[in-house]
Amino acid sequence: MKKIFLILSIISLTVVTHSCESDITSLNEDPKHPTVVPSGLLVASAQQELASQLLTSNVNSNISRFFTQQWAQTTYIDESNYDMVTRPIPRNHYNRMMASSSAVTHSPGVLSALRDAKQFLQNEGGSAIEKNNKEAIIELISVYTWANLVDTYGDVPYFGALKAVPGNTGPSEIPYDDAKTIYLDLIKRIDVANTLINTSQPGYTNDLYYGGNMSKWKKMANSLKFRLAVTLSDVDPTLAKNYAEAAYNAGIFESNDDNFGLSAFPSGLFANPVYQDVIQSGRNDFIPSDVLVDYMNSTSDPRRGRWFTKVGGAYVGGVYGSSNSYSAYSHMTSTKAGDAAGDGYMLITPNAPGYLLDYTEITFLRAEAAARGFNVGGTADALYVKAIEASMTEYGIDSTTTAAFIAVNPYNAANWKQSIGFQAWVAMFNKGFQAWNFARRLDYPVFQNPDDSSVDDVPVRMKYSDQEYLLNKTNVTNAAAKIGGDKVTTKIFWDVH
């Protein structure tokens, strides 16, 4: 895997299709932007970029951990007060996920890289089955990325986006499409990708997530469909139930072995981005917040010892939205508590995993689905227990300790959104976008806007990129009016309560 990441770091400087030739026309070729790149390298590049963007805690790119108030800041507190203008965070996230809607061939974003990979795949060798598997991988990563854009912004350019090919850059202004319409199309694309998968042959051998194991990709397809289906529950319960039950019956994640993402980052340039931001940077910018730590203290949550250090014998979170002295509060820790050798569970290390969809999240979604009356293989109570067990196992908590925790924090059928909402929020610690989706959909926990907040309330969406108002002004202005205003308080279409 380290070799693959090294290749990704120099891909834009590599001329893949050039050979030693005397043809003077080669002087017209740009060596920094190859005409053709092996599709597998573009897919691996997209996977690395997707994981890096969604997992990073760099305040220039991703402040989702502040949307759910699980992290607090020390010296600089603009981002925990939701200032997204001084640092153009909406622009940076949009560009890394999408790049320009009519992007050029050097594939600067996740979706534009996948677009080019799909184009180059058509002229590559291999059996029909293998090429279908590869196309399915491209489609499923694309769907995951598009869903994140919709969950973040609402309506976005979709059907008319990314149409550019070499020699045709496409239109400069792209209409925005209805978010629910996009969601339903994404589910259709998952179904089509699923029909392409043949588990008798592999996909991309340099696939960073599953190593080309198409059985894993099939489970990922069904699990992603399950996530999108449950997300639709409040806005279209009948459709959500049908899609969720179909996905469950087709086979979703069964253990942490099925998780979608990187099981281990390499070291160096491509180390886990949270390690780079929190440890390797040598800065002391982040600490766990009082919002999270106080709640975990109230439930005697054993995961505290895996995630945080103690101060004066206690776990103490920094005041959310305020400046905090780093030395006065608990820190996020890199090693398993009491493990001097450092060979236990590690949260923030160079090689820590980075999952974008995992068994714990899917099990909490199953509990939520069951509470809504969906038939997904268990009762809400039993699946609530199973989801907490999955999270505890993920962080190395033994079964006896887990059982004791569940016994004093039981499922409350009378207020299932609160039970599942709080426990899913905790379990999604350090998984900002996943935690944000649970909190918005279930309305628990209820977050308080900081006194010095830059916005009217805690964000439930991100504003559109400021560049869109320069490059695509008419369409973004119309989109903003349609959704009720380009504000952080304007709810995404599925967030109806």
Tell me what percent of the residues of the chain surpass a pLDDT of 90: 78
Task: State the pLDDT at residue 171.
Answer: 61
Task: State the pLDDT at residue 35.
Answer: 66
**Residues 307/397, Cβ–Cβ less than 8 Å:** no
The strand pairing partners of 332, in sequence order, are 308
The Cα 171–Cα 161 span in angstroms is 9
Q: In this structure, is residue 469 part of a structural domain?
A: yes
What band does 494 get if pLDDT is binned at 50, 70 and 90? very high
Mean per-residue pLDDT for 403-416?
Answer: 98
Q: In this structure, is residue 60 part of a structural domain?
A: yes
Name the average pLDDT for the chain: 89
Mean per-residue pLDDT for 182-197?
Answer: 98
As given in the structure block, the two tokens for residue 16 are: 């893949």
Task: State the pLDDT at residue 23.
Answer: 33
DSSP, residue by residue, 278-337: IIIT----EEEBHHHHHHHHHTT-TTHHHHB--BTTB--PBPTTS---GGGS--B-SS-T
Q: In this structure, is residue 491 part of a structural domain?
A: yes
Mean per-residue pLDDT for 301-316?
Answer: 94
**Number of independent structural domains in the chain:** 1
β 354-357/71-73 pair status: unpaired
Query: pLDDT, tens digit, for every residue of 348-370?
Result: 888 889 999 999 999 999 999 99
DSSP, residue by residue, 7-18: HHHTGGG--SS-
Name the CA radius of gyration of the chain, rounded.
22
Q: In this structure, is residue 160 part of a structural domain?
A: yes
Q: Phi first, then psi: what are they for 112, rounded to 5°? A: -70, -35
Is the pTM of the predicted complex or chain greater than 0.85?
yes
Instruction: Please name which of 429, 462, 443 lies closest in space to residue 79, comparing C-alpha atoms.
Output: 462
Q: In this structure, is residue 317 part of a structural domain?
A: no
SS3 466: coil
What band does 281 get if pLDDT is binned at 50, 70 and 90? confident
Structural domain boundaries enclosing 129: 1-14+35-73+90-212+464-497
The Cα 306–Cα 334 span in angstroms is 8
The Cα 174–Cα 158 span in angstroms is 8
Alpha carbon distances (Å) from 256 to 102, 103, 175, 203 = 38, 36, 40, 21
Residue 457 has pLDDT above 50, yes or no: yes
Give the relative orientation of helices 39-55 and 2-9 as an angle to the nearest 10 degrees: 90
Task: State the pLDDT at residue 334.
Answer: 66
The Cα 184–Cα 147 span in angstroms is 10
Q: In this structure, is residue 437 part of a structural domain?
A: no
Task: State the pLDDT at residue 347.
Answer: 75
Instruction: Please name which of 206, 202, 188 lies closest in space to residue 140, comparing C-alpha atoms.
Output: 188
The Cα 250–Cα 358 span in angstroms is 17
Alpha carbon distances (Å) from 461 to 151, 153, 232, 398 = 8, 6, 16, 37
Residue 130 has pLDDT above 60, yes or no: yes
Sign of the CA dihedral running 437, 438, 439, 442: positive
As given in the structure block, the two tokens for residue 37 are: 């790149």
CATH number at residue 474: 1.25.40.390
What band does 101 get if pLDDT is binned at 50, 70 and 90? very low
Mean per-residue pLDDT for 389-395?
Answer: 94
DSSP, residue by residue, 374-428: --SSS-HHHHHHHHHHHHHHHTT--HHHHHHHHHHS---GGGHHHHHHHHHHHHT
Residue 449 has pLDDT above 50, yes or no: yes
The Cα 249–Cα 456 span in angstroms is 43
Query: pLDDT, tens digit, for every residue of 6-54?
Result: 445 434 333 233 333 333 333 334 444 556 789 999 999 999 999 999 9
Count Cβ neighbours within 10 Å for each residue of 379-403 and write b for 16 or more, e otherwise. Answer: ebbebbbbbbbbbbbbbbbeeeebe
Q: In this structure, is residue 109 part of a structural domain?
A: yes
What is the length of the chain?
A: 497
Residues 6+ apart with CB under 8 A from 481: none
Widest CA span of the chain, in angstroms?
77
Query: pLDDT, tens digit, for every residue of 220-261?
Result: 999 999 999 999 999 999 999 999 999 999 999 999 999 999
Residue 3 has pLDDT above 60, yes or no: no
Q: How many CA atoms lie within 13 A of 311 on its CB side?
A: 15
Place of tokens 């965070």: 89
Query: pLDDT, tens digit, for every residue of 72-93?
Result: 999 999 999 999 999 999 999 9
Q: In this structure, is residue 355 part of a structural domain?
A: no
